[in-house]
Amino acid sequence: MARRSKRSDSEKLRQSLITLLIDFEHKLNQDNLREQVQSLMPAHHQLRDLGSSLIHEEDAESAKGRVLAYLRKYPATLLHGDELMIVAGISEYARRIRELRKEMGWPILSGQALKDMVADGDLCANIDNYKKVKTDTYYLIEDRQDIEAAYRWNLANEIRKSDQSVKIKILEYLRKNIGKKVTGEELKYLAKDRSEWARRVRELRTEEGWPIMTCNTGMPELAVGVYILTEDRQAKVHDRKIPDPVRIAVLTRDSFCCKKCGWNPEKRNSGDKLRNFLELHHIEHHVNGGKNEEDNLITLCNVCHDDVHRGNSSEAELFKLIGVNIKI
Ligand SMILES: [Zn+2]
Ligand SMILES: [Zn+2]
């Protein structure tokens, strides 16, 4: 049972804990197991109280409130489960995290979801930090409560039950949430926690051409662990099958800007309603033998991309834009 913490007096708790431990020396010498265990009980409770007394926020009266306060104090930081246990003051804090995530819409990733993303190379910067992720780790993606999350979790629950492949379920879920930020945790849930979810997301993007954006595949302003299907359309067949490392290299070379008009995702809210995202275009079309390589790929916004496909730019012109000299 959760015990209510006496959060105002951490120092008193600390002192009484020391006294208890000092007294415990006698018990240790007496060699009476039952008495030893019983005399540790108050120390055990006081240690818990001391942990939960450390959170001073107004809403920290419940274990859930304290876990949330702690996560919000350290967003985008890998936190060990034991840290949450200490501030919660209870050992069953994991259920509180599920409630925070599914009922209240806090975007909290589990260590397993992060591990799945790491295994699939689906993380940007600081990748070394994330390599050390343990299963018993939690990560608040950003300090933003998503009021639509509860609705989405219900939808995820419905789709999860259906008798389809993981890839189809993920696609269906994303297509019902066009333009919305969804978290890796939701996608993992759809896959019934099987770690293949991260690979399926990548396949949907690279092989089937769905514009599923992450911080390293077209929308650098997104937080780690966030996915957005930006539009309900697949890339043209010849622009599919670009491996993510190549995609990232091209976007980086082009500074995440359209090479024709200079648009970048930071300008998304600047009044240009037509330009929404960046795509990669094969200058020499894939079907004609064009390679999935940096020297044959150019970053374009969706408007310029459509324009190029209407035949308004020559291959030579596009190669010049990316600084590749080719004799055609
Ligand atoms: Zn453009
Ligand atoms: Zn194209």
Per-10-residue mean pLDDT for the chain, 328 residues long? Answer: 54 93 92 92 93 84 93 94 93 93 96 86 60 86 93 96 96 96 96 92 88 83 91 82 87 93 83 82 78 91 87 90 75
- Range 154-163 contact pairs with CB under 8 angstroms and sequence separation of 24 or more: 156/186, 156/189, 156/190, 159/190, 160/189, 160/190, 160/192
Q: What is the structure's pLDDT at 123?
A: 62
Phi then psi dihedrals of residue 269, to 5 deg: -100, 20
The residue extents of the domains of the chain are 238-328
275 Cα: distance to centroid of ligand 1 (angstroms): 8
Q: What is the structure's pLDDT at 242?
A: 83
Identify which of 228, 154, 244 has the alpha carbon closest to the alpha carbon of residue 190.
154
Quote the CA–CA distance of 26 and 323 in Å, as a whole number: 79
One CATH from 1.10.3470, 1.10.30, 1.20.1260, 1.10.150 for 238-328: 1.10.30
Quote the CA–CA distance of 324 and 316 in Å, as a whole number: 9
177 Cα: distance to centroid of ligand 1 (angstroms): 25
Residues with CB under 5 A from ligand 1 (ion): 258, 260-261, 263, 301, 304
Tokens of 323: 């600084």
283 Cα: distance to centroid of ligand 1 (angstroms): 15
Q: What is the structure's pLDDT at 43?
A: 93
Q: What is the structure's pLDDT at 233?
A: 87
Tokens of 139: 């990560």
Q: What is the pTM of this model?
A: 0.78
Quote the CA–CA distance of 101 and 97 in Å, as a whole number: 6
| CA–CA distances in Å: residue 88 to residues 49, 97, 110, 142 | 9, 11, 17, 20
